[in-house]
Chain A
Amino acid sequence: DAGVIQSPRHEVTEMGQEVTLRCKPISGHNSLFWYRQTMMRGLELLIYFNNNVPIDDSGMPEDRFSAKMPNASFSTLKIQPSEPRDSAVYFCATLRRTANTGELFFGEGSRLTVL
């Protein structure tokens, strides 16, 4: 079975450019989460979706960040315009809500560097 698939794995861009990160969840998983990992703050939840509907986006740092889930098999996290402080590893994770443990399955992450 394919796991959570994220792209790109690495992105280097210049300040002010638009960045789009993509995630394909595990088939049948109806919740999707976007996390950001930094040394200072660890793993921060940015936003999560249940059945393609955004439930909690209070972790999104500011209006430059937006996320969409147009269907059950695809989600994007967009940063426009990007800034150096956005440099981090961004993880997508999914789970099947019928499972009671809350176990998340993570993708391998997208490492973003904004120069």
Chain B
Amino acid sequence: DQQVKQNSPSLSVQEGRISILNCDYTNSMFDYFLWYKKYPAEGPTFLISISSIKDKNEDGRFTVFLNKSAKHLSLHIVPSQPGDSAVYFCAARYGGSQGNLIFGKGTKLSVKP
């Protein structure tokens, strides 16, 4: 039973447009949500996070939105660039600062020039 779901395995976007990656979760005890980016043959790298007490966090071209009532979060990339092409993993933390992360299966983003 997946607690963190990324229902779109892939997404294709034109350069300069907005990319929206979605993530749903089932456990209301998650207290932190993170997005990771992964290039082929490399480990995932941290991109942006949001606490469960907030509904938005922005870092440059990347914005994460959290809708707790819907148990949904999304990552917006504006404007998208070809270098953003990668697999994006949504992750949720439970157990507080001593807990661990549960990851979704990932969404492969392709940004076309």
Contact with A along B73-113 (1 / 0, CB 8 A): 00000000000000001000100011111111110000000
Chain B residues engaging chain A, CB cutoff 8 angstroms: 32, 34, 36, 41-46, 49, 89, 93, 97-106
Can you name 5 A-B pairs with beta carbons within 8 Å? A33-B100, A35-B103, A43-B105, A100-B32, A105-B46
Chain B residues touching A, majority SS: strand
How many residue pairs link A and B with beta carbons under 8 A? The number is: 61
Q: How many residues of A contact B (CB 8 A)?
A: 25
Distance in angstroms from A92 CB to nearest chain B CB is 9
A106→B41 contact, CB < 8 A: no
The 7 closest A-B pairs by CB, nearest first: A106-B43, A42-B105, A43-B103, A102-B93, A103-B46, A106-B44, A102-B32
Bound-state Cα–Cα, A108 to B51, Å: 27
Docked pose: A74 CA to B86 CA in angstroms: 30
